[in-house]
Amino acid sequence: MSEIERCAACGVPSRFVDNHLWLAGGVIVQVSDREHRMVLIESDNLDPLFKGVEGIIGVPLERIIIETKRRASREYIDRIIPPQVKEGVRNKEISLDPLIEAISVISFVMGYGKSSLVSYRFEVDDEDYITQRIEQPYSIPLWCGDFTGSTEAVTGRDNDVTYEQPEDDVIEVTCRPAEHPPQFQGRLDIRKPRFTESGIELERCGSCGGPALLSTLEWDTDRGLITSKTTGRRMAMLGSAYLEVIFDELERELGEDIPRAVVEAQRRFALGGFYSSKEVAEEAGFREQLALRGLGDLHDMRLEGGTLRMTLRNAAMHLMLVGLMQGYYESVTGHSSEVDWELSEEGVLELEVRPRS
């Protein structure tokens, strides 16, 4: 892979800053598609969250997660690759190699892990396949869904995906042409982003124009890792709507208890020590971190009379945040709790955590 250009001042890969806009109000969008909202979150929170929800509801979720992410990624990649390129690939006038390389570069910069091509066959028949090796994947089911959806968008054919784990923290993922079961066909009902471009504005790097706080992150582009220098935790940049639609699909498939299960799984994970209560306690710093991550604009947060109340405008990934705040409350107060929340049509999240009655 060719050397990835970086900002001389803050060290952030230029592609990362050039492809994203940090808007006022704690919102990140793609430069090429301002309706495609992004979030920069701790990726090591993702698979434990999915496993936690599995444990609560007693139903395996991996296949639903993979298939939902596949459909979302196919729709997204299908929009951004020019029709003439897709036609050229399908007619075997254009090689798959440069597209595979381009997707690998994205994974290196976005924190998805180190991906490399193992082998592929593309003769536009049922014997076709493509296998990639991923070291330190940001999420196993999400990677599988991303890979399959991208393959389908380029080739124009439905695919199934399997993976093996030859080593710890390494997967080999293979896509092959196959029809999808009826429940995994059709387009997803992906939420349109709801936000207003007003509120908190982050200080900028004088050289590249990205948020100055990005300098607190370290990119290892040889391994596809982004790490917080402050917390030591791994980060990744993801499309928020394509994560939220997973929870929406789980709710559609498995029932209305899913949002509560997601919040409860996140509460348990937060109490496990992955996050520090000190990160939330200082409101100004917490507000900046939420904005840097594209999770919204913290308008108000108060812990009074044993009750925590918070208002977040332009909220993204609200179920994970509700669970995080409930876990924070319990770690600070030492009390078990109950939580209620409401997300308005305008994207304003109101939550209240109080002692369990």
What CATH number is associated with residue 163?
3.30.1380.20
Q: How many domains does the chain have?
A: 2
Within a domain: residue 249? no
Note the pLDDT of residue 187: 61
Note the pLDDT of residue 331: 94
User: C-alpha angle with apex 188: 187 to 189, nearest 5 degrees?
Assistant: 125
User: One-letter amino acid identity for 298?
Assistant: L
Within a domain: residue 235? no
- Answer with the one of 162, 184, 206 that is the final residue of a domain: 184
Note the pLDDT of residue 180: 82
- Answer with the one of 168, 184, 200 that is the final residue of a domain: 184
- Whether the Cβ atoms of residue 113 and residue 135 lie closer than 8 Å to each other: yes
Note the pLDDT of residue 269: 96
Local mean pLDDT, 10-residue blocks, the chain (357 residues): 85 95 96 91 97 95 92 86 93 90 87 96 95 97 95 94 96 95 68 87 97 98 96 95 89 92 97 89 93 98 95 97 97 95 96 95
Direct distance between the N- and C-terminal alpha carbons of the chain, in angstroms, rounded to an integer: 57
Q: Are 72 and 164 members of one domain?
A: yes
Within a domain: residue 290? yes
pTM (global) more than 0.75: yes
Note the pLDDT of residue 321: 98
DSSP 126: T
Note the pLDDT of residue 101: 86
- Answer with the one of 184, 219, 235 that is the final residue of a domain: 184
Note the pLDDT of residue 100: 86
Within a domain: residue 98? yes
Within a domain: residue 23? no
- Whether the Cβ atoms of residue 263 and residue 326 lie closer than 8 Å to each other: yes
Cα(338)–Cα(37) distance, integer angstroms: 30
The range of the structural domain enclosing residue 176 comes to 61-184
Tell me the two tokens of residue 1. 């892979």
